[in-house]
Amino acid sequence: MDATTLLALLAAAAALIGLALVLRRPADDGGAALREALAAQLHAAQQGTQGQVELLASSVAELRAEIGRSLGATEQQLATQAGTTHRTLNDLSRQLGGLSEQSQRIGDLAKDIGSLQDLLRAPKARGGFGELLLERLLHDALPATAYEVQYTYRDGSRVDAIVRYAGRIVPIDAKFPNETWNALAKAEDPADRRTKKRAFLQQVRRHIDAVGRYVSPADGTIDFAVMYIPSESIYYDLVLREEEGEPDLRAYCAERKVIPASPNTLLAYLQVVSLGVRGLAMQERTRELQQGVAAVRREFERFVELHDQLGRHLENATKKFDETDRALSRASSAIETLAQAPIAAGGEQVALPLRMEPRRESEET
């Protein structure tokens, strides 16, 4: 209800109250006219009030209809949103169930990893695992003919893998002693850590000495052997990080002709070797092509020689043909002359005009 309608209703009510008060007064001669005027005004006010009431009722009906439509749309939106929320909750429930299963699998995997770590603590199992990783790395980086695992030297010693390059071999060892590194990584006390660090470095130096024995020029090796370290963290702590008071393992490796290599650095070395192997294969193919071109050239030269010989034979045959053609012409002329000579009467002997000239030496050649 707006302010105008409210004021109209208030005015109509006031008019009715005033009219009622007037009607209750005693009647006189002028009062009748006044009552009639007031009655007319009251009637007009009643009609106006009735129109306002009808208008107000129409507005209230429209408002109720609008409110009903709004409530219906809101109810539909709430139903749609409730359905979407229900589906979302169902999806979330399924995802939580999947996460629970994955968490259980991760727990089982952690147990398996722990069992694998316990298994790899044995040096033999650790060496086999390192050899497996090295073989996979070689398989991914090089062709099958460019490497060999468990290569045996002439003296019966065996290296984990070798790489063939330019007629020589590159020995690679994969049995790095990382059990002392694991003990060093678990040490928390500084004194205990220093003790285990010294033990670790001593074992690494002994391993470097063992790897250096794989350098054997008599067996066709290069002047260095590769020591494969199957962990980037161990490689960083052993080769790249230097601490005061510790021996320089890089210099010790260089002295023993050993190249330390992590998985990433070994992969880089193998990629360089792969490029070299491809270059050698291309060089060998080029050599074969050059030999083929040389053979074709020799055949072509032989063909040229035969062609020249055939040309000389054809030239000699042409000369012989010309000589026989000239001789045939002379013989034909002599025969024609003989045929035209008169026959002698009686016993006279007529000298024949045919006279054979001696063959010149130049024509015989």
Number of Cα atoms under 13 Å in the Cβ half of residue 79: 6
Burial of 230 (0-12, 13-18, 19+ CB in 10 A): buried
Q: Which helix (H) or strand (E) holds 165?
A: strand 158-165
Would you state the pLDDT for residue 3? 53
User: Helix, strand or coil for residue 168?
Assistant: strand
Range with the poorest average pLDDT among 38-52, 161-175, 279-293, 351-365: 351-365
d(CA 169, CA 224): 10
Question: What residue spans of the chain are helical by DSSP H?
Answer: 3-23, 29-120, 123-141, 179-186, 190-212, 232-235, 249-255, 263-340, 361-364
Record: fold of 125-282: Trna Endonuclease; Chain: A, domain 1 (3.40.1350)
Residue 113 in contact with residue 171, Cβ under 8 Å? Answer: no
d(CA 168, CA 336): 91
- Cα dihedral 297, 303, 308, 311 sign: negative
d(CA 121, CA 299): 68
Residue 332: what residue type?
Answer: S
**317 or 166: which leads in pLDDT:** 317
Would you state the pLDDT for residue 280? 67
Would you state the pLDDT for residue 24? 55
Q: Which helix (H) or strand (E) holds 238?
A: none
pLDDT 10s digits, 328-350: 888 888 888 877 766 554 445 55
pLDDT 10s digits, 85-100: 888 888 888 888 777 7
Mean pLDDT of 66-77: 83
Residue 71: what residue type?
Answer: L
Q: What is the mean pLDDT of the chain?
A: 76
Mean pLDDT of 6-26: 60
Report the greatest alpha carbon distance in the chain: 216
Q: Which helix (H) or strand (E) holds 356?
A: none
pLDDT 10s digits, 301-326: 888 888 888 888 888 888 888 888 88
Q: pLDDT-based confidence at 223, cuts 50/70/90? A: confident
Residues 6+ apart with CB under 8 A from 8: 48, 49, 52
Q: Which residues lie across from 171 on neighbouring strands?
A: 162
Q: Are strands 168-173 and 158-165 parallel, antiparallel or unpaired?
A: antiparallel
**195 or 43: which leads in pLDDT:** 195
How large a percentage of the chain has pLDDT more than 70? 72
d(CA 304, CA 291): 20
Would you state the pLDDT for residue 167? 79
Q: Name the nearest CA neighbour of 275 among 101, 84, 141.
A: 141
d(CA 113, CA 107): 10
Residue 137 in contact with residue 146, Cβ under 8 Å? Answer: no
Domain residue limits, the chain: 3-24+34-93, 125-282
Would you state the pLDDT for residue 365? 43
Residues 6+ apart with CB under 8 A from 24: none
Q: Name the nearest CA neighbour of 321 among 332, 309, 313.
A: 313
Q: pLDDT-based confidence at 120, cuts 50/70/90? A: very low
